[in-house]
Amino acid sequence: MPMTVRELLDEPHLGLRLIAGEAGVEQPITWSHTSDLPNLWEWVSEGVLLLTNGLSIPESAEGQVTLAERLVSSGAVGLAVGDEMHAPKFTEAFLNACSELPLPLLAVPYPLPFIAISRSIAEALLIEESRRIKQTARLYDILRRSSTPGNAWDILLHDLSTELGSYLFVIDDYCLHPWNHTDPIPDATTQIGILRARQEAGTTSRHFHWTKHDGRSILLMDIPTHANALLAVAPHSEHPHPDGVVLLHAATIIGLAMSQQALYITENQRTAETLFSQVVLGGSSETIGSRYGLVSDDIRVVCYQPPAEGAPGDYAQRLRRHGVPTIATVLHGTAYLLVAADSSLATIRHILGPEAVGGISSSMDKFQISRAVLEARWACGKAKQESAGLLQYSEDESWLGFASLQEGEQLVSRMLAPLLEYDQRTGSDLTGTLRLYLRLQRSAQRVATTTFTHRQTVISRLKKIGNLIDSDLSETHVLAVLWLALQFHDALSPAQGNAPGQFSE
């Protein structure tokens, strides 16, 4: 068994003295660590005796009390300070705090080297080291046994929890929800402890942080293979706590299982995503939903602009883990999600975030995916114009004066059909010339400069456009209608390079 603080004090060759915190001397020491870095509590874990020369101990009473509280919250079982070194005078408030918490405060006689203390602790841990090796082997055997298909994830977490004598919770670092929607939800005390540990550890550093809430210890640690996942450990009892090294192995094992799970899902979704991309580009609707994991016969499509800081595939994976079966694809910078019609829209908004701008189609039969894509793009274009977040498609609300998708399609057909047919037949891009002409304040010279062509060539193209659509481009009302038609065309044409609602400035 590990030696206690009292047993360390009783080592006659060390000559350590207890200054304060006698109530905590029966705590076992799992390891020792030496540090004079700022924020000493960031460098300790459960069961550690911290050895310091006192360089980073604050001089103020408030700072010293905060140090004692944070050390105890991080799991330290004692603070040993070198005599005649750099420590400031200990304040009365600090000594009282050490006694009340309790945090044993030890004086290390000069010139006793810290390594002598560490060696005594390490020698007492030889038997503990053998136990750690055996327990680590059992952890990897649990991984081997749970590698069979089925409910392997649940079995893995249950067996690891039993072996470690702790409740284990794998959580999403973005929102602190369970990693999978079927995973157990931490109780209220554990949830508060997780929030506290995350706040104390910070969001920019790697996590391995013990904290206490309502008398219960909580460890928050990273999972090596998944940067956006955290492992919360809540021991069944206060003593003894799981060994820190063993917990690192447990996190690695969980990470391997999560990678296996993600690989299986990726392989299963790849064909579905290819088919969905073809539908978005104008192909015929397939029964993708029923073939690839969407249990409902009715579907919705979500169209949105993915934020710069996150890959669209990450959002699709998080939706699946939150209980929303999803097929995703990204085309020309616009992301599309195919979900079951009864999927929680609140969950979709939660995953995409409050800054997401996009559109959600109405509920449709699974054979009408193409139509749902058009509705989602229409709603996305409207959302972009109005900076309205995620909008559901509705014919009760107009966009640019048009009440429905059908009206927009009719305008595109009436104004642009001859032009689009000519471009498709000849391989030209007169539609692009018209779009650029309207974007550049109807300046033929600016179009010529932008496209590296002669101004007269641009004028000739504009005349050709006027002839094809049988309209005079010098008329303001004609340009206004063409601008609207191009807005709707870009919103409803996934193959177009412009995202919905981003045609012009």
The DSSP-derived string for 31-93 is: EEEE--SSSGGGG--TTEEEEE-STTS-SSHHHHHHHHHHHHHTT--EEEEETTSS--PPPHH
The DSSP output letter for 3 is P
As given in the structure block, the two tokens for residue 71 are: 């050390």
pLDDT digits (tens, 9 = 90+) for 250-263: 999 999 999 888 88
Q: What residue spans in the chain does CATH classification 1.10.10.2840 cover? A: 405-492
Lowest mean pLDDT among 284-298, 380-394, 437-451: 284-298
Residue with tokens 């999560």: 258
Give the CATH H-level superfamily of domain 405-492. Answer: PucR C-terminal helix-turn-helix domain (1.10.10.2840)
Q: Which class is 147-258 in CATH?
A: alpha beta
Enumerate the CATH 3.30.450.30 domain ranges in the chain, comma separated: 147-258
Report pLDDT digits (tens) over 63-96.
999 999 999 988 899 999 999 889 999 999 999 9
> What's the rounded mean pLDDT across residues 157-184?
92
* pLDDT for position 434: 87
Residue 60: CB atoms within 10 Å: 12
Q: Which of 264 and 390 is assigned the larger pLDDT?
A: 390
Read off the pLDDT of each residue in 22-36 and give the average, rounded to a whole number: 93
User: What confidence score (pLDDT) does residue 114 get?
Assistant: 94
DSSP per residue, 12-33: TTT--EEEE-GGGTTSBP-EEE
Q: Which amino acid is at 363?
A: S
Reduce the DSSP state of residue 231 to 3 states and report it.
Answer: strand
- According to CATH, where is 3.30.70 located in the chain? 282-397
In tens, the pLDDT along 434-471 reads 888 888 888 989 988 988 989 999 899 889 888 888 88
Q: Which long-range contacts (CB under 8 A, 24 or more apart) does 116-123 make?
A: 116/13, 116/14, 117/8, 117/14, 117/16, 117/32, 117/49, 117/51, 117/80, 118/32, 118/34, 118/51, 120/3, 120/8, 120/11, 120/14, 121/2, 121/3, 121/8, 121/29, 121/31, 121/32, 121/49
Q: What angle do CA 98, 104, 106 make, to 5 degrees?
A: 115
Helices (H), 237-368: 244-280, 288-291, 312-321, 345-352
Average pLDDT for residues 475-485, to the nearest whole number?
Answer: 81
* More confident of the two residues 273 and 47: 47
Residue range 5-121 in CATH 3.40.50.10490: no
Sign of the Cα pseudo-torsion (188, 193, 195, 196, in order): positive
For CATH 3.40.1390.20, list the domain ranges present in the chain. Answer: 5-121
CATH class for the region spanning 282-397:
alpha beta
Count how many residues are written for the chain. 505
